[in-house]
């Protein structure tokens, strides 16, 4: 092996070993981030009047902001795992938060939450509570079911 080849080989090995920690860091960062995305049904056209904010629940700080796309969709692609975040629809011309969804927490087993629907008027949990209350009232009043039991 010539001196020139030996030096070239030594440089390749040094560069490869020297960049290995950087590659490991990039891979670790990729594993420590997730995605929160969805649609802002509450937004009205023009969607350019809105942005979506990602707020860290623990610190109350806004950690990211994205505009809505032409279909009122949004995506946060580098969300830290194990932290709680709320998603806020913000009306820029009115300078106010329209509504908030969440909190959401991503983890190593749940790297993405892609079905977030920002819709202030539709709360499925409220409907379930109303239905449960109606059933409890029916039981308390002794209303019989159609089957006669």
Task: Express each pLDDT in 30-52 by its tens digit.
Answer: 568 999 999 999 999 999 999 99
Asked, for residue 84, whether it belongs to a domain, the answer is yes
- Are the CB atoms for 100 and 88 separated by under 8 Å? yes
**Which CATH number fits the domain that encloses residue 46?**
2.60.40
- Among the listed residues 41, 121, 47, 50, the one whose alpha carbon sits nearest the alpha carbon of residue 90: 50
Q: Is residue 96 part of a domain?
A: yes
Q: Please indicate, yes or no, if residue 87 is contained in any of the structural domains.
A: yes
Taking the C-alpha atoms of residue 87 and residue 8, their distance in angstroms, rounded to an integer, is 52
In a domain, residue 55? The reply is yes
pLDDT band for position 12 (50/70/90)? very low
**Domain range enclosing 46:** 34-121
Q: Are 90 and 98 in contact (CB under 8 A)?
A: yes
Give the pLDDT band of residue 1 (cuts 50, 70, 90). Answer: low
Q: How many residues does the chain have?
A: 149
Residue 56: inside a domain, yes or no? Answer: yes
pLDDT at 149 over 90: no
The answer to whether residue 66 sits within a structural domain is yes
Q: Which two tokens stand for residue 67?
A: 């505009």
Q: List, for residues 133-143, the tens digit of each pLDDT value.
A: 454 444 545 54
* Residue 52 included in any domain: yes
Count of structural domains, the chain: 1
Tell me the pLDDT band of 121, cut-offs 50, 70 and 90.
confident
Q: What is the 3-state secondary structure (H, E, C) of 76-109?
A: EEEEECCCEEEEEEEECCCCEEEEEEEEEECCCC
Q: Does some domain include residue 97?
A: yes
What's the CA gap between 61 and 42, in Å, rounded?
23
Look up the pTM and report it: 0.62
């Amino acid at each position: 092996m010539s001196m020139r080849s030996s030096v070239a080989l030594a440089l390749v090995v040094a560069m490869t070993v020297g960049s290995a920690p950087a590659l490991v860091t990039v891979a670790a960062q990729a594993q420590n981030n997730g995605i929160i995305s969805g649609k802002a049904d509450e937004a009205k056209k023009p969607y350019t009047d809105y942005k979506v904010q990602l707020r860290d629940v623990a610190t109350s700080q806004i950690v990211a902001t994205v505009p809505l796309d032409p279909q009122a969709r949004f995506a946060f692609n580098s969300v830290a795992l194990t932290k709680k975040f709320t998603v806020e629809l913000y009306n820029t011309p009115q300078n106010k938060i329209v509504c908030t969804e969440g909190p959401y927490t991503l983890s190593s087993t749940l790297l993405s939450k892609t079905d977030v629907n920002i819709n202030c008027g539709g709360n499925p949990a409220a409907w379930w509570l109303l239905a449960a209350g109606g059933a409890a009232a029916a039981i308390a009043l002794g209303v019989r079911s159609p089957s006669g039991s």
